[in-house]
Amino acid sequence: MNITKDRVVSITYTLTNDQNQVLDSTGDGPAAEPFLYLHGHQNIVPGLERALEGKTAGDSFKISVSAADAYGERNEKLITTVPLDRFSGADKVEEGMQFHAETAEGELQMITVTKVDGKNVTIDANHPMAGQNLNFAVSVVDVREANEEELQHGHVHSHSHEGCDEGDCADCHDCG
């Protein structure tokens, strides 16, 4: 079965940047924990999704995805300074801290604290991988048809859960 829209794809991968640092990996061999996604629903970065189109289980390949085709270029306008008292819910605020915030469109966004200066906190709403080329070494483990519920929700329900529950869809606005 080949990879096309509305099929559930299981892959293992190692992701490196142009400095050859490993950013993410499922591992490989028997200890690997394959990553599952629903193809054609923007569950993964566009450049990787395009490269996977038409592949089948057992295929392995390498693909270099430009920043524009991954998490986008860095946007300096997304770096802002806010008063420390905006973080009243946090125990402490320090450089390198990351947290999720909701955008005006209701989407979750990762924010990184880049500087704490007295009563001012500089935050960066760029995706942590924005501006980076992403180099994937990918192996396709399995391809199957998605079920009705997965297609409705636009994402995979893992085999360990029946249907959609909090554990499966905590990140999902459609299912939450």
Sites of contact with Zn ion (CB under 5 A): 153, 164, 169, 175
Cβ-based neighbours of 97, under 8 Å, separated by 6 or more: 90, 112, 113
* CA–CA separation, 130 and 45 (whole Å): 11
Type and span of the H or E element at 38: strand 35-38
Specify the residue, 115 or 144, whose C-beta has the smaller distance to Zn ion: 144
User: What's the closest the beta carbon of residue 9 comes to Zn ion, in angstroms?
Assistant: 17
Tell me the torsion sign for CA atoms 29, 30, 36, 39: positive
User: What's the closest the beta carbon of residue 5 comes to Zn ion, in angstroms?
Assistant: 18
Specify the residue, 52 or 175, whose C-beta has the smaller distance to Zn ion: 175
Specify the residue, 137 or 169, whose C-beta has the smaller distance to Zn ion: 169
* CA–CA separation, 136 and 130 (whole Å): 16
User: What's the closest the beta carbon of residue 7 comes to Zn ion, in angstroms?
Assistant: 17
* Amino acid type, 171: D
Specify the residue, 116 or 169, whose C-beta has the smaller distance to Zn ion: 169
User: What's the closest the beta carbon of residue 168 comes to Zn ion, in angstroms?
Assistant: 6
